[in-house]
Amino acid sequence: MTDGNVDPLVDKNDSRVPRRSTRDDDMKIGIYLCSCDGCVSGILDLKTIADGVKHLKCVKKVEIVNHLCSKQSIKNVKKDAEKNSIDRIVIGACSPRTYFRLFQGELSQNGTNGIIIEMANIREQCAWIHWDDPLAATEKASTMISMAVAKLRATSMSERGYKTVVDENICDGCGICASVCRIKAISIVNDPQRSGKKIAFVNENICDGCGACVASCPSGALDQSSFSNKQILAQIEAATTGRIIQDLSSPNILVFACNWCSYAAADLAGLKKLNLPPNFLTIRTMCSARIDPEWVLSAFSKGIDGVLVLPGKLGHCHYEIGNLRTTRRIALLRRVLSQLGFDEMRLMLGFVDAEDAEEYQHEVSSFISTIRSIGPNPLRDLELSRKRR
């Protein structure tokens, strides 16, 4: 069991800084898909997925492996990465909440000290909830792998945990971030480079990575390591590239899930084999308070039909008040969407705790039904035409 106050995905004492280049021309991404002894490959057509993603930019190797989490399989992946000079790896397997630290710890110790890991949860959150529609599940899994590749390509080599970082060249010391931070990890200090100017300073020893301050920054000076705006927007781009070409009668949904609450509930729904329509893709954040209005507006501008935000229930937030901030922000954003001519029902908020697998199933299914009744995003035809050019 993991202590509820400890991030299960990142070692906060890990000070390793990879040394590889971040230029696309230099990146070499390896994709390793786990068949899970038939638990995944019995539903998903992994060969079709492999054939579909091997042409993605920067991808140098795609391989299907059985029991990818076994010690021998990890050793084989390490050897393969060394042989092919792979410095970024996508693991298409189970939940990052369960195995991310295992892969990160083992694969980052291959002698180069420069491998970055990303996981796509194609087991619990794809194969096991779409077992009744293997074709649609396979298509969705392909898009999930594409989103993981897009995030890796947008990932800085100096990512450290989930800490807030400050661009001192942009920060004007307004203090909003400090007022938002519930644990007082941010202070406003004199800028040593600009006389008379103030900037935000983040105490990394205190910051717990909720990201609420980042979403509240009016100047864009703040960002979150491992969940940066660039990474999330890259995932949205990858999600819409593959999905909006579907028949217009099939709604395409984007779900933002809190790592501690609704994402955990989604994993549990998979373990219980609760059936869900395959019309949605999920982007994980550490807290729903990290969700930036820019992400939502970007999703709609690229043809997504509906956006569902799923924090934990009020009073149960891992970060205490993150879901309260989310509630207020989504209410305001729905009004903005309405003024832009969108049906505000295209953006909804649901509350799901980690153990509420059935509630998660209900929220997602109900939202898909709502969007199906509203109809396609009016911008989808425009975005489809743009992508086909």
Q: Given pLDDT bands bounded at 50, 70 and 90, which one contains residue 380?
A: confident
Q: What pLDDT shows up at residue 343?
A: 96
- Residue 196 in domain: yes
| 38 part of a folded domain | yes
Same domain, 137 and 67: yes
261: in domain? yes
pLDDT of residue 11: 40
Could you read off the pLDDT of 104-146 as tens digits, one per residue? 888 875 444 457 899 999 999 999 999 999 999 999 999 999 9
Q: Do residues 87 and 135 both lie within one domain?
A: yes
Domain count, the chain: 3
Q: Is the pLDDT of residue 375 over 80?
A: yes
Taking 50 as the threshold, does the pLDDT of residue 62 lie above it?
Answer: yes
pTM value is 0.90
* pLDDT at residue 213 is higher than 90: yes
**pLDDT, tens digit, 9 for 90 and up, residues 318-343:** 999 999 999 999 999 999 999 999 99
pLDDT digits (tens, 9 = 90+) for 298-324: 999 999 999 999 999 999 999 999 999
Between 5-14, 57-66, 187-196, 294-303, the lowest mean confidence (pLDDT) is in 5-14
Dihedral sign, CA of 286, 292, 293, 296? negative
Same domain, 146 and 265: no
Q: Which two tokens stand for residue 34?
A: 């786990």
Q: Which residues contact 119 (CB under 8 A, 6 or more apart)?
A: 90, 91, 92, 93, 95, 96, 99, 100, 103, 148
CB 233 within 8 A of CB 225: no
Residue 29 · residue 152 · CB < 8 Å: yes
Mean pLDDT for the chain overall? 89
Name the helix (H) or strand (E) containing 238.
helix 229-243
- State how far the Cα of 13 lies from the Cα of 160, in Å rounded to an integer: 9
Does residue 363 share a domain with residue 246? Answer: yes
Confidence of residue 5 (pLDDT cuts 50, 70, 90): very low
One domain, residues 219 and 107: no
Ramachandran quadrant class, 320 (left: phi over 0; alpha: psi -120 to 50; beta: rest)? left
CATH of the domain at 101: 3.40.50
Residues 188 and 311 in one domain: no
pLDDT band at 243 (very low <50, low <70, confident <90, very high): low
Q: Which of 153, 178, 205 is the last residue of a domain?
A: 153
Domain limit, last residue, from 132, 153, 174: 153
| Total Cβ atoms within 10 A of residue 382 | 13
Instruction: Indicate whether 369 and 324 sit together in one domain.
Output: yes
Element (H, E) at 239: helix 229-243
User: pLDDT-derived band of residue 6, with 50, 70 and 90 as boundaries?
Assistant: very low
* pLDDT band, residue 101 (cuts 50/70/90): confident
Domain membership flag for residue 15: no
How confident is the model at residue 192, as a pLDDT?
86
Whether residues 296 and 219 share a domain: the answer is no
Same domain, 44 and 139: yes
Classify residue 284: in a domain, yes or no: yes
Domain that holds residue 216: 164-224
